[in-house]
Amino acid sequence: MQNPEISGIEYQHGELSGYEVKEYLLEKWGHKCAYCGAKDVPLEVEHIVPKARGGSNRVSNLTISCHKCNQDKGDKPVEDFLQGKEGILEKIRKQAKAPLKDAAAMNATRSILLYELEKLGCRVYTGIGARTKFNRKLFGVPKEHCLDALCIGDNITAVFGINKPVLEINCKGRGLHQRMLPDSYGFPRAHRMKQKRVHGFATGDMVLANVIKGKKKGNYVGRIAVRQTGYFDIQTKQGKVCGISWKYCHLISRNDGYEYVYKEI
């Protein structure tokens, strides 16, 4: 291989022909036109040295450009197209030769992980991000992490007919070590409680509050923020409810640092 870059990948045959190399180039060139810097527009694979002038299909001779720049450049030498823009020309030449180090590190890590899993006797199959994206676009699957897992590889029949909610897990942490709350200037304005539990409850716990009387009568389910007074705030799907006595609260689950939500897809 010429340099530690992908070369010759565009000569693959089949439905993914040319697809992986574009994903590589998009990542390498920052998902923007190399000539004008346009973002959030359709981007095309572009030969730095035109094929009509002897340019090759190697990745080191390819870049990403918007449609207008691609058409304006045509088969012109890149020096003529960027005449008077020597800074951009030098940047393109330098970037074209640079390998995508992140991809190399990830590929090396993947190989070691695959080797270790195979030693355990596991049946392991590998795939590439380009294939996942190709499958997602081909079958019109929404961009969701849970569905990306089903779009990996050649068989994605499992994604059809999915109409059930999925469990989304978000990391929320277990609170702060900071005991003092500063104002906008950094001066102390309040101090946190020394103890984390009040009447057996801690901030972040999931509770069911069954309020049987008063203006806030009703049932509330959500995460609580404890107060030393014994009157807690509950964050429900409908909004925050303040001043609920601990006596009405029934523990559903302790705060384990994660938030669990069923999400429609």
User: pLDDT at residue 9 above 50?
Assistant: no
CATH of the domain at 251: 2.30.30
Question: What confidence tier does 66 reach under pLDDT thresholds 50, 70, 90?
Answer: very high
Residues 186 and 254 in one domain: yes
The H or E element that residue 28 is part of is helix 19-28
Residues 202 and 230 in one domain: yes
Residues 95 and 150 in one domain: no
User: In this predicted model, what pLDDT tens digit does every residue of 70-120 receive, in sequence order?
Assistant: 999 998 999 999 988 888 989 888 888 877 666 667 777 878 888 888 888
User: Using the 8-state DSSP alphabet, how is residue 39 labeled?
Assistant: B
Give the CA distances from residue 141 to residues 10, 131, 255, in Å, rounded to whole numbers and listed in that order.
26, 13, 34
- At 18, list the tokens: 């040319």
Q: Which of 54, 31, 56, 57 is nearest to 44 (CA)?
A: 31
Residues 89 and 135 in one domain: no
Q: In this structure, is residue 192 part of a structural domain?
A: yes
Q: Which of 201, 229, 230, 234 is nearest to 218 (CA)?
A: 234
Last residue of a domain, one of 51, 66, 101: 101
Residues 88 and 133 in one domain: no
Which residues, listed in sequence order, are joined to residue 239 by a DSSP beta bridge?
236
- The two beta strands, 188-191 and 197-198, are unpaired
Residues 148 and 184 in one domain: no
Largest CA distance in the chain: 84
**pLDDT for the residue numbered 13:** 41
**% of the chain exceeding 70 in pLDDT:** 86
* Conformational region of residue 31, where left means phi above 0, alpha means psi within -120 to 50, and beta covers everything else: left
3-state secondary structure of 200: coil
Residues 72 and 131 in one domain: no
CATH of the domain at 34: 1.10.30
Q: In this structure, is residue 118 part of a structural domain?
A: no
Residues 247 and 192 in one domain: yes
b/e burial code for range 245-254 (CB count within 10 A of at least 16 → b)? ebebbeeeee
The one-letter amino acid code at 203 reads T
The Cβ-side half-sphere exposure at 100, using a 13 Å CA radius, reads 18
Mean pLDDT of the region 215-238: 91
Residues 76 and 19 in one domain: yes
Mean pLDDT of the region 194-220: 90
Question: Vertex 222, ends 219 and 224: CA angle to 5°?
Answer: 110
**pLDDT for the residue numbered 98:** 78
Q: In this structure, is residue 199 part of a structural domain?
A: yes
**How many separate domains does the chain show?**
3
The H or E element that residue 22 is part of is helix 19-28
Q: In this structure, is residue 152 part of a structural domain?
A: yes
Q: In this structure, is residue 175 part of a structural domain?
A: no
- Comparing 101 with 42, the larger pLDDT belongs to 42
What is the distance between the alpha carbons of residues 151 and 162, in angstroms, rounded to a whole number?
Answer: 13
Residues 216 and 143 in one domain: no
Indicate the average pLDDT of the chain.
81
Contacts of 111 (CB under 8 A, 6+ apart): none
Determine contact, residues 171/257, Cβ cutoff 8 Å: yes
Q: In this structure, is residue 3 part of a structural domain?
A: no
Kindly report the backbone phi and psi dihedral angles of residue 95, in degrees, each rounded to the nearest multiple of 5, phi listed first: -70, -35
Q: In this structure, is residue 206 part of a structural domain?
A: yes
Residues 36 and 65 in one domain: yes
Q: In this structure, is residue 56 part of a structural domain?
A: yes
Which residues, listed in sequence order, are joined to residue 210 by a DSSP beta bridge?
219
User: pLDDT at residue 157 above 50?
Assistant: yes
Determine contact, residues 103/128, Cβ cutoff 8 Å: no
Determine contact, residues 52/37, Cβ cutoff 8 Å: no
Domain ranges, residue 134: 127-162
